[in-house]
């Protein structure tokens, strides 16, 4: 293997990651030899038009799916070497998730949902850290409620707290504000921003919304399975400008 | 709409197959019961026709009352044969003997017995066509030292018989040695012997050894060609003395067929009852499946409504779907039922009943029943879901998500309707148990309807408590398996209606099993108590065959100086107590004959009035306090007894007893009975030993019993065990049939869980994404099923316990007087139910664990 020693500050990275669906004439290259590194303590947004491969990239980086060629590493672990079971354990212990919707198990209370990955691992977790995360959600008085008794925004905050509670190497968020109104979205993004700034967490977020992406430290633009551009310290205007450029 | 129904079915093959399989089993039961019964009927009818071929009339002693199947008719004098032969128009008349309880002993010293059919001695008739036997091997026996045996026993590898060999035969006149000269077939050569065993002698020998010197039990008559059957019957009647009757071949065929119907009918009914139980349980499964599936198809159905389908069309499409399932299941059930019938017949034959050869007749009636039952139950079960589906609004799909978390209406409506049903069900059940009925059919129907309505009521009420009870029962799960257990518990409790509907199948099965086991256990305990308190005998000698033990056994034991033997003979009697009380009517009952002076030595009958001292064997009568009350009889009252021999005796009530015992309510002395009996057998012999050492006593009785190889000697402990073990056999048989209801329940859990897993696909994806391993996933689903099963089982055991105790209370005290709950067994039922749930969940759990995480979370 010709992989150089991984830089210690990378939370997750892809090396020539390629994902091909189907075979022969109908083969589609969803990811085309992507190289990307997500630094520790950074909030990265992945943007791109529909079908650009941004969700596929996220799934592959997060160990939900496997790349066809190339490598994906979480910390120093090469996901392609892991068995299905080890991949599951890696997700449980080292990766956090926030989905667009249906983030919470309806039969569990808010706090049970937050503790879910640790309960699955059979560990108690870092209780000071969990207290801090729970405190940051501002939901201390709603912890015993079930998801159906929480608003959409509250549910997403619980989901972010769940992702944070296990102190994962990296958190992946897939359109976390896609199902909520603007104000609630801002609240959730603020919470995520706070988790990076105050708690030193690493977040990778897929979004198609320029305002959401502007909360990130860095925006990566994806088109046809390739990274075509990057933007540091983005603002909504600069992002839109880039998007228009790419679309043209 | 028809096409839509078919398309929908094809799209969900697994679900369709699971739903249909429950009905297939029910229909198969119906088909098997009809086909087996029809096959038995046609086989026996053929046999009756064959054995009567060449015989136009049968002359025999007339029973003064009762059926020929219940009692042995008196013999007729041998001279009658000549009188009949002399009647103008009679071609030939031959006297025959047929005596049950003639037991051959094979070359290995093993007595040839059956579990029910006769082991009889008979004579062969010199006239081939009048005879019911056909010589297959060797030659007919001639003279006092020869016999022939039926071909089935001869060819049975389990027995050792060879032509020319000398064998012992135990006859009513004692054991004797005979040389085997031939083997004969009862009925036509292609007929099997229905399990009966025959020893054949020539006529003179038969009369002597069977204990009927100068008598026959039957005379077979053939008319001359062209005779008028009815007219000749009248002329034969003219030469017959009182108490002898002549019946035509047609009559005897009908009698034979009525006799066989007395066991074929109940057999068919019992199978149909189990079929109904299976179908009833299936209905809950089908209804549940339709409910869940229609819930998942809300979008599709509301789209149909939006584009213009009327509610009636939606309803019809659902009912069409269920009708198609019903038809397919009926056809499959027909096939499975035929196989089942084949299996039942081979099982019977394996048990020793050589049933007549015969095809398995599939009649139009059977086919119509199969289809009616299959389609009827399926459509009935889908009726409520169909109506619900038709009420889905055209916009329902727009607002609702992919899954419909049904919220059970847990309100007053459910409570009231369930409560009313429960009351109706319990009242009917109580009425069935304790009410007065004319015959068993209306009583059992009331009982069945009551139980069915109670079960429906339970299924209506169950969702009200399911959540809290399941949570409670499943609480230990989360101590053992923190997260999988907690999720399993939550999932089992999340949808009370679905949980209830899934569990109710198991509830019904287990309620019935529990009830049966409580009644069985109580019966055993009551029997044991009675044996301990009322029986003083040290040994019990019994016999497997119906005929009983020769009376000589008692006298031989007594002669050997072992102790006091008392033989008990039970027979039918007609009792006229009108001399004592004008209100009293003539009743038919079972009479016990025993040596009253020795009674105390072997049993304590619990005399409450009068005394056994100075009992006059010729005129004394002992009655149970129950009949004393029912018939208004008191000490000193005279009672007229009519015996099956036609003899009448007047006896006087000399004592009243109230011991609940194994004998009847009427006891006379065997000395009196011997004068009027048509047979010379005891049904059971109790022995009070005078030898202190039990081993020595046993050895001494064994020595006497070498002359009675058919007799079984048991001490009290062994006797209790053998009675319990035969009871256990019945219980096991019942439980095997009820096991089919449990099988349906298992299928129900598989089906519901599969659908639930499909419904919760996103949740499963989420759990997998955040790190639930496949093993944890499987464990979660398995224990969810276990929790649902346990809930169903607990409700079933509680309900069955109540039913069981009510049944015990309803059974008269002289049969069951103690309620006994087999606690360990009930706990075992619960454990098995949990195992059931775990097994049922194997497939759904496997599917859930193999689900692609990405597909699951991407599912929109």
Predicted confidence band of residue A22 (pLDDT cuts 50, 70, 90): confident
Give the list of residues 6+ apart from residue A227 with CB closer than 8 angstroms, or none. A34, A35, A36, A220, A221
The whole-number pLDDT of residue B439 equals 74
Judged by average pLDDT, the poorest of A199-208, B76-85, B569-578, B828-837 is B569-578
The whole-number pLDDT of residue B406 equals 45
Residue by residue, what is the 3-state secondary structure of B311-347? HHHHHHHHHHHHHHHHHHHHHHHHHHHHHHHHHHHHH
Nearest to B771 among A91, A106, A108 (CB): A91
Which percentage of chain B shows pLDDT scores above 90?
27
The whole-number pLDDT of residue B418 equals 92
Predicted confidence band of residue A1 (pLDDT cuts 50, 70, 90): very low
For the cut 90, the answer to whether the pLDDT of residue B798 exceeds it is: yes
The helix (H) or strand (E) run that includes residue B527 is: helix B496-534
Predicted confidence band of residue B655 (pLDDT cuts 50, 70, 90): very high
Q: Which chain A residues are closer than 8 Å to B763 by Cβ?
A: 102, 105-106
pLDDT in tens, B333-358: 999 999 988 888 887 777 666 666 66
Predicted confidence band of residue B400 (pLDDT cuts 50, 70, 90): very low
The whole-number pLDDT of residue A220 equals 93
Q: CB distance B769–A59 less than 8 Å?
A: no
Q: Please state the rounded mean pLDDT for residues B464-491.
A: 88
Q: Please state the rounded mean pLDDT for residues A115-132.
A: 86
The whole-number pLDDT of residue B662 equals 59
Q: CB distance A85–B773 less than 8 Å?
A: yes
Radius of gyration of chain B (CA): 33
Predicted confidence band of residue A51 (pLDDT cuts 50, 70, 90): confident
The whole-number pLDDT of residue B204 equals 92
Backbone angles phi, psi at B645, to 5 degrees: -75, -10
Q: A-side interface with B, Cβ within 8 Å?
A: 59, 64-65, 84-85, 88-89, 91-93, 97, 99, 102-108, 112, 116-117, 119-122, 162
The whole-number pLDDT of residue B621 equals 92
The whole-number pLDDT of residue B17 equals 80
pLDDT in tens, B538-557: 999 988 777 788 888 888 89
Report residue A43 as tokens. 């909030």
Q: Please state the rounded mean pLDDT for residues B479-498.
A: 87
Q: Which chain B residues are closer than 8 Å to A119 by Cβ?
A: 482-483, 486
For the cut 70, the answer to whether the pLDDT of residue B581 exceeds it is: no
The helix (H) or strand (E) run that includes residue A247 is: helix A236-247
| Closest C-alpha among A41, A45, A55, A31 to residue A238 | A45
Query: Which of residues B455 and B646 earns the better pLDDT score?
Result: B455
* Cα–Cα distance, B713 to B686 (Å, whole number): 10
Predicted confidence band of residue B436 (pLDDT cuts 50, 70, 90): confident
The whole-number pLDDT of residue B792 equals 94
For the cut 50, the answer to whether the pLDDT of residue B640 exceeds it is: yes
- The alpha-carbon gap from B769 to the nearest alpha carbon of chain A, in Å, equals 7
pLDDT in tens, B88-125: 889 999 999 988 888 899 888 888 877 667 788 999 98
| Closest C-alpha among B667, B283, B237 to residue B456 | B283
| Closest C-alpha among A203, A181, A179 to residue A191 | A203
For the cut 60, the answer to whether the pLDDT of residue B1 exceeds it is: no
pLDDT in tens, B504-535: 989 999 999 999 999 999 989 988 888 888 88
The whole-number pLDDT of residue A3 equals 47
Average pLDDT, chain B: 85
For the cut 90, the answer to whether the pLDDT of residue B205 exceeds it is: yes
First-to-last CA distance in chain A?
A: 39
The whole-number pLDDT of residue B208 equals 92
For the cut 80, the answer to whether the pLDDT of residue B599 exceeds it is: yes
The whole-number pLDDT of residue B508 equals 92
Q: How crowded is residue B697: how many other Cβ atoms within 10 Å of its Cβ?
A: 20
* Cα–Cα distance, B345 to B397 (Å, whole number): 54
Report residue B484 as tokens. 């999988």
Residues forming a β-bridge with B789: none
Report residue B78 as tokens. 């041998």
C-alpha B787 chain-centroid distance: 34
Interface test with A, best of B406, B480, B481, B769 (most A CBs within 10 A): B769
The whole-number pLDDT of residue A6 equals 47
Query: Which of residues B116 and A104 earns the better pLDDT score?
Result: A104
The whole-number pLDDT of residue B661 equals 60
Q: Please state the rounded mean pLDDT for residues B189-198.
A: 68
For the cut 70, the answer to whether the pLDDT of residue A87 exceeds it is: yes
pLDDT in tens, B280-332: 988 888 888 888 888 877 877 887 787 778 888 888 888 988 999 999 999 99
Nearest Cα residue in chain A from B481: A122
For the cut 80, the answer to whether the pLDDT of residue B195 exceeds it is: no
Homologous superfamily in CATH for domain A40-63+82-247: P-loop containing nucleotide triphosphate hydrolases (3.40.50.300)
The helix (H) or strand (E) run that includes residue B668 is: strand B666-669
């Amino acid at each position: 293997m010709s992989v150089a020693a991984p830089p210690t500050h990378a939370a997750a990275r892809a090396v020539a990651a390629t994902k091909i669906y189907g075979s022969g004439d109908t083969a589609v290259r969803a990811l085309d030899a992507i190289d990307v590194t997500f630094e520790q303590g950074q909030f990265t947004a992945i943007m791109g038009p529909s079908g650009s491969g941004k969700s596929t990239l996220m799934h592959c980086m997060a160990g939900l799916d496997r790349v066809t060629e190339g490598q994906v590493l979480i910390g120093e672990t090469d996901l392609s070497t892991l068995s299905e079971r080890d991949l599951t354990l890696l997700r449980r212990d080292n990766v956090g998730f926030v989905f667009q919707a249906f983030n919470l198990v309806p039969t569990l209370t808010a706090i049970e949902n937050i503790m879910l990955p640790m309960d699955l691992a059979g560990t108690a977790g870092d209780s000071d850290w969990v207290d801090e995360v729970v405190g940051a959600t501002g939901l201390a008085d709603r912890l015993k409620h079930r998801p159906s008794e929480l608003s959409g925004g509250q549910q997403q905050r619980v989901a972010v707290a769940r992702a944070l509670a296990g102190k994962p190497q990296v958190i992946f968020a897939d359109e976390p504000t896609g199902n909520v109104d603007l104000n609630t979205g801002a609240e959730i993004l603020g919470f995520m921003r706070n988790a990076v700034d105050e708690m030193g967490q690493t977040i990778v977020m897929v979004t198609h919304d320029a305002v959401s992406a502007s909360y990130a430290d860095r925006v990566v633009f994806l088109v046809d399975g390739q990274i075509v551009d990057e933007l540091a310290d983005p603002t909504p205007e600069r992002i839109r400008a880039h998007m228009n450029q790419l679309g043209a | 709409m028809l096409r839509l129904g078919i398309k929908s079915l094809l799209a969900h093959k697994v679900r369709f197959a699971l739903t249909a399989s429950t009905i297939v089993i029910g229909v198969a039961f119906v088909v098997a019961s009809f086909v087996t019964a029809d096959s038995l009927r046609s086989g026996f009818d053929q046999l009756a026709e064959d054995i009567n071929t060449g015989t136009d009339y049968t002359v025999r002693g007339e029973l003064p009352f009762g059926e020929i199947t219940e009692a042995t008719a008196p013999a007729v004098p041998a001279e009658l044969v000549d009188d009949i032969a002399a009647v103008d128009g009679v071609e030939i008349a031959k006297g025959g003997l047929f005596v049950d309880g003639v037991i051959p002993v094979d070359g290995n010293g093993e007595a040839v017995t059956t579990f029910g059919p006769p082991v009889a001695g008979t004579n062969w008739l010199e006239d081939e066509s009048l005879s019911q036997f056909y010589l297959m091997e060797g030659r007919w026996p001639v003279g006092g030292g020869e016999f022939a045996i039926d071909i089935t026993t001869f060819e049975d590898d389990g027995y050792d018989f060879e032509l020319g060999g000398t064998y012992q035969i135990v006859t009513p006149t004692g054991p004797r040695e005979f040389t085997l000269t031939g083997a004969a077939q009862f009925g036509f050569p292609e007929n099997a012997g229905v399990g009966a065993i025959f020893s054949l002698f020539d006529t003179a020998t038969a009369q002597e050894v069977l204990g009927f010197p100068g008598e026959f039990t039957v005379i077979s008559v053939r008319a001359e060609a062209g005779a008028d059957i009815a007219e000749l019957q009248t002329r034969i009647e003219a030469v017959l003395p009182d108490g002898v009757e002549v019946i035509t071949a047609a009559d005897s065929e009908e009698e034979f067929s009525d006799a066989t119907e007395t066991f074929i009918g109940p057999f068919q009914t019992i199978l149909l009852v189990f079929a109904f139980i299976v179908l009833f349980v299936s209905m809950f499964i089908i209804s549940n499946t339709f409910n869940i599936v229609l819930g998942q198809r809300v979008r599709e159905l509301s789209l149909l409504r939006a584009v213009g389908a009327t509610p009636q069309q939606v309803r019809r499409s659902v009912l069409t779907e269920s009708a198609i399932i019903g038809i397919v299941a009926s056809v499959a059930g027909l096939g499975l039922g035929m196989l089942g019938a084949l299996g039942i017949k081979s099982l019977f034959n394996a048990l020793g009943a050589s049933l007549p050869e015969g095809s398995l007749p599939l009649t139009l009636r059977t086919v119509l029943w199969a289809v009616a039952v299959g389609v009827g139950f399926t459509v009935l079960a889908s009726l409520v879901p169909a109506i619900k589906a038709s009420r889905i609004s055209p916009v329902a799909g727009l607002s609702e998500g992919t899954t419909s978390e049904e919220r059970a209406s847990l309100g007053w409506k459910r409570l009231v309707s369930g409560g009313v049903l429960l009351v109706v069900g319990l009242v009917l059940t109580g009425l069935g148990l304790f009410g007065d009925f004319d015959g068993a059919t209306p009583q059992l129907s009331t009982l069945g309807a009551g139980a069915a309505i109670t079960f429906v009521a339970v299924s209506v009420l169950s969702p009200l408590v399911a959540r809290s009870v399941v949570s409670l029962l499943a609480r230990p799960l989360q101590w053992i398996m923190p997260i999988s257990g907690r999720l399993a518990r939550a999932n089992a409790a999340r949808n009370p209606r679905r949980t209830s509907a899934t569990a109710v199948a198991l509830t019904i099965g287990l309620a019935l099993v529990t009830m049966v086991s409580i009644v069985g256990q109580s019966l055993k305990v009551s029997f044991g108590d009675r044996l301990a308190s009322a029986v003083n005998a040290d040994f019990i000698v019994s016999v497997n065959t119906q005929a009983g033990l020769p009376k000589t056994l008692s006298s031989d034991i007594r002669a050997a100086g072992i102790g006091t033997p008392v033989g008990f003979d039970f027979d039918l009697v007609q009792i006229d107590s009108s001399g004592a009380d004008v209100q009293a009517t003539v009743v038919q009952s079972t009479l016990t004959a025993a040596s009253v002076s020795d009674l105390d030595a072997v049993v304590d009958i619990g005399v409450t009035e009068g005394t056994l001292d100075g009992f006059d064997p010729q005129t004394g009568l002992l009655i149970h306090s129950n009949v004393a009350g029912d018939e208004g009889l008191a000490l000193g009252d005279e009672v007229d007894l009519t015996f099956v021999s036609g003899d009448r005796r007047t006896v006087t009530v000399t004592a009243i007893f109230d011991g609940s015992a194994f004998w009847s309510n009427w006891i006379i002395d065997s000395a009196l009975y011997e004068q009027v009996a048509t047979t010379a057998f005891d049904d059971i012999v109790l022995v009070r030993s005078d030898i202190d050492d039990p081993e020595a006593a046993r050895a001494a009785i064994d020595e006497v019993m070498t002359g009675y190889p058919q007799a079984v000697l048991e001490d009290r402990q062994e006797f209790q065990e053998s009675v319990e073990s035969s009871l256990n056999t019945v219980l096991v048989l019942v439980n095997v049939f009820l096991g089919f209801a449990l099988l349906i329940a298992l299928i129900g859990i598989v089906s519901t869980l599969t659908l639930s897993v499909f419904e919760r696909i996103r949740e499963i994806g989420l759990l997998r994404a955040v790190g639930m391993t496949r093993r944890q996933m499987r464990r979660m689903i398995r224990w969810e099923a276990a929790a649902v099963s346990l809930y169903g089982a607990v409700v079933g055991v509680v309900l069955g316990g109540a039913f069981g105790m009510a049944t015990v209370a309803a059974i008269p005290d002289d049969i069951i007087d103690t309620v006994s709950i087999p606690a360990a067994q009930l706990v075992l039922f619960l454990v098995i139910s949990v195992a059931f749930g775990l097994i049922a969940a194997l497939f759904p759990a496997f599917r859930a664990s193999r689900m692609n995480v990405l597909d699951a979370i991407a599912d929109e």
